[in-house]
Amino acid sequence: MSEREHRDGLLTQLRRPPGGRDGRTMLVALFTDRTGSGVWAAACVLYFTEVGHLTAGRVGLLLGLASVAGIAGSPLAGRLAASLGVRPVLIGCHLLRVVALAAVLFCSSFAPLLLAVAASALGDRAARAMELLFATEVAGERRSVYRALSRTAMNAGYAAGAGLAAAGLAVGTPAAYRALLIADVVSFLIAAALVAGLREPRPGGRVVAGSERPAPAAQAGPRPTPWRDGGYLRFVALDCALTIDDAILNVGLPLWLIHSTRAPHALVPAFLAINTVLVVASQLRVSARVRTPRQAVRAVPLYGFAVLGCCAAAALAGGTGAVLGSLLLLVAAVLVTLAELLRSVVSWELSVALAPDRARPEYLGVAGMAQSTEKAAGPLLLTGAVLATGPLGWLALGAATCAAAYAQRRFSATRLTATAPAPTPVARATAAG
Residue 387 has pLDDT above 60, yes or no: yes
Q: What is the mean pLDDT of residues 122-141?
A: 87
- Tell me if residue 7 falls in helix, strand or coil: helix
Residue 12 has pLDDT above 80, yes or no: no
Tallying the residues shown for the chain, one arrives at: 433
Q: What is each CA distance from 18 to 104, 137, 210, 397, in whole angstroms?
A: 37, 10, 10, 37
Answer whether 376's CB lies under 8 Å from 70's CB: yes
On the 0-12 / 13-18 / 19+ scale of CB atoms within 10 A, 110 is middle
Share of the chain above pLDDT 90, in %: 43
Alpha carbon 221 to its chain centroid, in Å, reads: 33
pLDDT of residue 10: 64
Spatial distance between the Cα atoms of 12 and 182, rounded to a whole number of angstroms: 33
Q: Which of 158, 312, 343, 341 is nearest to 240 (CA)?
A: 343
What is the crossing angle of helices 174-196 and 20-46, to 10°? 160
pLDDT of residue 151: 84
For residue 292, which amino acid is it?
T
Spatial distance between the Cα atoms of 412 and 350, rounded to a whole number of angstroms: 8
Q: What is the mean pLDDT of residues 188-203?
A: 89
Residue 426 has pLDDT above 50, yes or no: no
Q: Label residue 212 by pLDDT band (50, 70, 90).
A: very low
Q: Which of 235, 206, 223, 220 is nearest to 359 (CA)?
A: 223
Q: What is the mean pLDDT of residues 181-192?
A: 96
Output the pTM of the full model: 0.78
Most confident stretch, 130-144, 201-215, 337-351: 337-351
Q: Provide, for the chain, the percentages of residues in helix, strand and coil under a 3-state DSSP scheme, each rounded to the nearest 5.
A: 80, 0, 20
Spatial distance between the Cα atoms of 337 and 302, rounded to a whole number of angstroms: 12
Between 12 and 58, the more confident residue is 58
Q: Label residue 245 by pLDDT band (50, 70, 90).
A: very high
Q: What is the mean pLDDT of residues 27-48?
A: 90
Answer whether 346's CB lies under 8 Å from 303's CB: yes
